[in-house]
Chains A and B, each alone.
Chain A
Amino acid sequence: MKSFSTLASLPGRLLLGSAAALTLLACDPDNDPNPGPAPVVTNSVFVINEGNFGRSNADISLFSKASNSVINKSLFASVNKMPLGDVAQSMAVRDSLGYIVVNNSNKLEVVSLFKFKSKATVKDLKLPRYFVAASSDKGYVTETVSYTTTFGQVSVIDLKTNQVTRSIAVGKQPEQLVVVGSRLYVTNNGDNTVTVINTTTDVVEGTITVGDGPNSVVADRNGRVWVLNSGKIVYNPNPTRLSKGSLSQIVPGQLTATTREMPSDQSSPGNLTINGSLDQLYYTYLGGVYTLGINEATLPTQPLIKRGGFYGLGVDPQDGTIYGGLASFSSADKVIRFKSTGAAIDSFTVLAGPNGFVFY
């Protein structure tokens, strides 16, 4: 578990939800040989509102846990007096900075989390999707490049200068990515693979076959990498149908995965998320939210939350409160909060297309 000690120096603020960049602090729960994360305190929830494609109306809404209310619906625009851009795909946190990936503006917007002032903009990315920081000096962003090409890429960003230093070819349509130790795991959503990159050398170590359409990834307290695969659309020839989604597990250092298939082909699982103690997984599926412990042998058949159809999913690492983002992309969309038992708490209104949550 050397990998964890390198990460243990990082602050205990973590991001969950879409980006799933994990920064871990050591703790020693009873009877657990692995160092788990320290308990964290979160005060604010940043809701990533994707916005409508082509209309540059993406923004971040700030929800205060203290007042249980949205303090600022359009946080970026109101602070910086300019729109955030077109299609906010995700947001990740490193130290006291937020990294917002603005997909159809081809940029990474770096903001201070204290006042949300724009600190830097990494421009000329190629349809960027997700960001993760491996250290205070180095970050990675996945880029689709083009929907017609076979290869997407991961660009390496120097977080001191906010410049792209190099780009690494990966699989088709790379989505979420996670750093475990000195390895970066990149889900290739257009394929059925995960690319493994050495974060010291930035060289591809290998490719792991998972299920069709890997879309989200988290690391658990044991350093294992969990990949959720959406399945893919099959034309038969009509009506449209899906191949079954699946959940894969990768043991660090190995270039193989064990994959468990989802029971139904009527829905695509998505939004793999993990709790604060990094031992309970959550994902959206069949219109609900499902959960399973990292040591459970079988996939759950009953949902934790039945209703939903959530576009974005987040779990507060402090208390396990579940945040589900409903996206109509038409009206001002809503976020519903649930206790960790699945009982609904309340809801609040944000902007169009809440696709993820950052707890800080």
Chain B
Amino acid sequence: MSGDTRITGDIQVRALTKTFRTTTRRPGALGTLRSLVNPLWVTKTAVEDVTFSVAPGELLALLGPNGAGKSTTIKMLTGILVPTAGEVSVAGVVPYRERERNARNIGAVFGQRTQLWWDLPARESFAILRDIYGVPDAEHKARLREFDDLLELSSFWDTRVRHLSLGQRVRCDLAAALLHDPPVVFLDEPTIGMDVVVKEQVRGFLKHQVEERGRTVLLTTHDMTEVSRLAERVVLINDGRLVMDGTLEEIKRKFGDTWLVRATLADPEAAVSALPGIAVLQREGPRVVFGPEGSHAPTVHQALKQVIERYEVSDIALEEADLEDVMRAAYQGAALEASDVLEESAVRGGAGS
């Protein structure tokens, strides 16, 4: 069976940009009327100059806050949208130039929407997709068996899609996206709204597809457990710009120096002041909370040493940031960086005019 062989395909994205031209309303009632006859056009940049690549057999998490440009990027890579500028190649095909050829090389799941026929049982949808993609019957049956083993589909695949639960529906969508054995898979928040058991099953399925089958996967998610379980590499975008491309460890190093040292002082009246790179965040009687300050803050263990050396403490506890905190810091940091860039360009623009 061809399903036993590893399949390869990469993703190359260079200087990808997508802008949308839209109208905006002028303020006030008169402005609204004026906009009707003389619309005010604005250009909104959804993705700007984004460059990254995904190697064959790699799972990359594309992360960013809501509205960062993740879905727009995926839509350009899948051939749904045509980029305004830049270059894209998916398994050697330019998606927006050869949409149908690209469709044969990719599978895609958008967690919030189904791609199955709403009124048909899921298994009928699979059969239609088999015909559309021209998959030989024996291969189709073998692949269905494989997916059934991993996702337990047979207990509900004869139910109409409109009657499936969210978890059942997304599992069917995953199977449908991979039935034609695509080398590249795009997953846009595939586990959104699922219970923990089904989430775990889906994660196992995705891990199997990458590690055993060699599929290239681009995943967007807000679930940091998913990121830590599945992704080795992360691309972070915000306001349409690429903020960071690196491993999870690199992101943690850059944005994850978030920690708290909670100390109870032996002398409740002792004077407390900031230490180098350490701020006093809170004080309630003998209880003091220290946190990092500035770009040269020490690590949590260095901070612990400094606090113990400086103050006499009766109790002390450490709190380190988990991945959720790291990403929150990363998103906020990215937002600040983006606003700095905007301010800088505004100043430059102002000076030049």
A and B are partners in one complex rather than unrelated chains: no
